Amino acid sequence: MKILVVGGGGREHAVIKAIKKNSSVTEIYACPGNGGIAEDATCVNIKATDIEGIVKFAVETKIDYAIVTPDDPLCLGCVDALSEKGIPCFGPDKKAAIIEGSKAFSKDLMKKYGIPTAKYEIFTDRLKALDYLKECDMPIVIKADGLALGKGVIIAMNLAEAEEAVNSMMEGKIFGESGSRVVIEEFLTGPEISVLSFTDGNVVVPMVSSMDHKRARDNDEGLNTGGMGTVAPNPYYTEEVAKECMETIFVPTINAMKAEGRTFKGCLYFGLMLTPKGPKVIEYNCRFGDPETQVVLPLLESDLLTIMQATTSGTLASTEVRFSSGSACCVIMASEGYPSSYEKGYEITMAQEVKDSVYVAGATLKDGKLLTSGGRVLGVTATSDTLKDAVQKAYQKVEKVSFGNAYYRKDIGKRALLKTEA
Ligand code: AMP
Ligand code: GLY
C-alpha cells in the first residue's frame, strides 16, 4: 500500500514510525515532511496547506490511503478534496473539523448538548465585548474564534489585561481574521488531561491519556509553547474520571456531531480540565495532539493503520484497539529562545541506538547533514513499565542527542510522578 501523510512535525514522524510496522505498507510519502522524517518516508516538497497540490500528487502517485493530521489542512477541506478523488483518508471532513476550527461553534455545541465546559459569551462587536468584561470576575479567558497556531488563548489576570486582549485580537488583529470573533469564558482551575480518541462517527475509543507541559521553562514558568514534553498515562485520569468523561463528554460529543450532520471520523482530541466540579472540556482538537502523539502511539500495541482504516470505513466497533499498561515520557528538545526568537542551522547528531525513539519536528537535510530549522527541534521518547523509569530513560536518551543551542525542560513528568507517589 502507498500511504500519504500530510504534515511535517514530530506528530507526523510518530504516525509514520507507527504505520511502518504494518507489513502491507510499501511506500510512505510525507507532504512536506522534514529532514528527520526523510529517514522513514519520501518527503515531497508540497505544503500541508496546498490542498490542490496534495490532491494532484496523491492522484498521480496512486496513493491508497491518506492520513491528514495537522489542523489547517483539515479545516481547509483536505479530506473532502482527497475523498472526492476516491482516495480514502484518515481525518474529519471540513464540516466536522469545525469543532477545532471555530471555538464559537464548539462552545455552542457543548451548550446545546449539555456537555460540561466553562461558561462563555461570544462577541463580534468589540465595544460589546469590552462592556461585558466590566461585569466579569477575574481572571478571565479570552479566545480568538479561529485557528491561531495554538496561540489564540489569553488568560487575563485583571480588567486592564482583559481589555488589552480583546483590543489586540479584535482591533489589532494579532491573530488575523481568527480574532474578529472572540469567546470570553470563565477561568477554570484543576489539572489538565489530554485524551485523544479514535472515532468512526458511531463509536468512540479513547486512547491512553496523557499530560502536556505547555510552558517553556521548568516548574511551569515562562511563555506558553506548543508543548515541551508529555507523559502517558496521566495519573489524574483515574478509572472513575475516565468513566465520567465517557458518559458526559466523549459519547455525547460524537452523538452531537452526528446529530448536527457533521459526523466526525478520525482522531478527536479532548482537552480536559479536572475542575472541583468534575471534568470539563477546555478545547477540542480535530486531530492528534503534538507532542501527545509521541507518547500515546509508542504505547499502542494494536496496528495503527488498521485502526485508522476502520475509522474511515465505519468498522471501529469490531477493530482491536489495545494499549500497553506501561508508561511513556517524551522530552522536547528545542532551540534556546523558543517560543520567541531562536537561531537555526546547527547540526544535529544522535547515537544510533536512540534513533528509533526520536521524532523530528524542525530540521532540514543539507548535504547529508541534519540541521535545526525550528523552535521545537525534536522529541525523545522512552517507554517502560513505570512512569518513573520512563522519565529516567527519556532523559538518558536526551543525553545522546546533541545540537547547538539545545534547550529542554528538566522536569517533564515531575508533576505526574508527585501525583502517582501521593
Ligand atoms: P487552548 O488553546 O484552548 O488549549 O488553551 C490553551 C491553554 O489555556 C489550555 O491548555 C489551558 O491551560 C488554558 N485555558 C484555556 N481555557 C481555559 C479556561 N477556561 N480556564 C483556565 N485555563 C484555560
Ligand atoms: N499539545 C496540544 C495540541 O496539540 O494542541
Q: How would DSSP label each residue in 124-160?
A: S-HHHHHHHHTTS-SSEEEEESS--TT--EEEESSHH
Nearest protein Cα to ligand 2, atom 4: 289
Give the C-alpha separation, 108 to 89, whole Å.
Answer: 28
Give the C-alpha separation, 272 to 280, whole Å.
Answer: 6
Residue 267 β-bridge partners: 198
pLDDT of res. 421: 85
For residue 120, the ligand closest to its alpha carbon is 1
Residue 81 β-bridge partners: none
CA of 282 to the centre of ligand 1 (A): 6
For residue 144, the ligand closest to its alpha carbon is 1
Residue 222 CB less than 6 A away from ligand 2: no
Ligand 1 pocket, CB under 6 A: 118, 141, 150, 153, 155, 185-188, 192, 214, 271, 282-283
CA of 43 to the centre of ligand 1 (A): 34
User: Could you read off the pLDDT tens digit of each residue along the chain, which spans 422 residues?
Assistant: 999 999 999 999 999 999 999 999 999 999 999 999 999 999 999 999 999 999 999 999 999 999 999 999 999 999 999 999 999 999 999 999 999 999 999 999 999 999 999 999 999 999 999 999 999 999 999 999 988 877 789 999 999 999 999 999 999 888 888 888 999 999 999 999 999 999 999 999 999 999 999 999 999 999 889 899 999 999 999 999 999 999 999 999 999 999 999 999 999 999 999 999 999 999 999 999 999 999 999 999 999 999 999 999 999 999 999 999 999 999 999 999 999 999 999 999 999 999 999 999 999 999 999 999 999 999 999 999 999 999 999 999 999 999 999 999 999 999 999 999 87
What's the burial of 283, exposed, middle or buried (CB within 10 Å: 0-12/13-18/19+)? Answer: buried
Q: In the chain, which segments carry CATH 3.30.470.20?
A: 192-318
Grid cell for residue 281: 472540556
Cβ(68)–Cβ(308) under 8 Å?
no
Q: In the chain, which segments carry CATH 3.90.600.10?
A: 327-421
Nearest protein Cα to ligand 2, atom 5: 289
Give the C-alpha separation, 216 to 213, whole Å.
Answer: 8
Residue 292 CB less than 6 A away from ligand 2: yes
CATH architecture label of 327-421 = Alpha-Beta Complex (3.90)
Q: In the chain, which segments carry CATH 3.30.1490.20?
A: 125-180
Please report which residue ranges of 226-383 form alpha helices under DSSP H: 239-245, 251-259, 293-296, 304-313
> Which atom of ligand 2 is closest in space to residue 214's alpha carbon?
1
CATH fold, domain 125-180, is: Dna Ligase; domain 1 (3.30.1490)
CA of 205 to the centre of ligand 1 (A): 24
Closest to 136 in 3D by CA, of 144, 125, 148, 128: 128
CATH 3.40.50.1000 holds for 2-91: no
**Domain 192-318 class?**
alpha beta
Query: Any idea which residue has 496547506 for its cell?
Result: 49
Q: End-to-end CA distance of the chain, in Å?
A: 48
Nearest protein Cα to ligand 2, atom 3: 289
Distances (CA, A) of 110 to 106, 114, 152, 153, 253: 6, 6, 20, 19, 8
